[in-house]
Amino acid sequence: MQTQLQTTFLKAYGDIMSTVQVRKSVLDNLMILVKDVPRVDPIVKELSQLLEGNKIEPDQKEQVSESLAFIIRTKGKAIQSATSQQIYGTLSQICQDPSSKNVNDRVVVNCATAIAYLSAISSDPAQMKALYGAFDDDG
């Protein structure tokens, strides 16, 4: 049942007929679902792919990136290391070159927030160094 709900919620993000209100409702319901799901890797992978690809419009990416940040904040410790690295790479690319991913400033802010949440729970010191180095004028 949870897998079906997850699929339905994530498809709603990509629906060209979905409004901001619908996508915000999806975010709220996805957060309720995530609390009861032991493995969030499939959800965060799919959200990351939506951000990286061109399947959805830039304004739709706002809610996708917000969802990703909230899920990482809520269940980040449940994300496997390999998935965490993959998501970190995608988020970093978006923050470094937003125009190539066709995203707006809100998406960049949400991605930076997600990186901060990921780095806070990361066991990889390279992620922490990359995070702080990205905002260091000398680095």
Q: What is the pLDDT of residue 105?
A: 93
**C-alpha span between 58 and 16 (Å, rounded):** 11
Which tens digit of pLDDT belongs to each residue from 31-51? Answer: 888 888 888 999 999 999 999
Question: What domains does the chain contain, in order, with CATH numbers?
Answer: 2-134 (1.25.40)
Picking from 83, 71, 54, 77, the residue whose alpha carbon sits closest to that of residue 110 is 71
More confident of the two residues 93 and 15? 93
DSSP conformational letter for 61 = H
Q: Are 58 and 104 in contact (CB under 8 A)?
A: yes
Q: Which of 82-96, 98-112, 114-128 has the lowest mean pLDDT?
A: 114-128
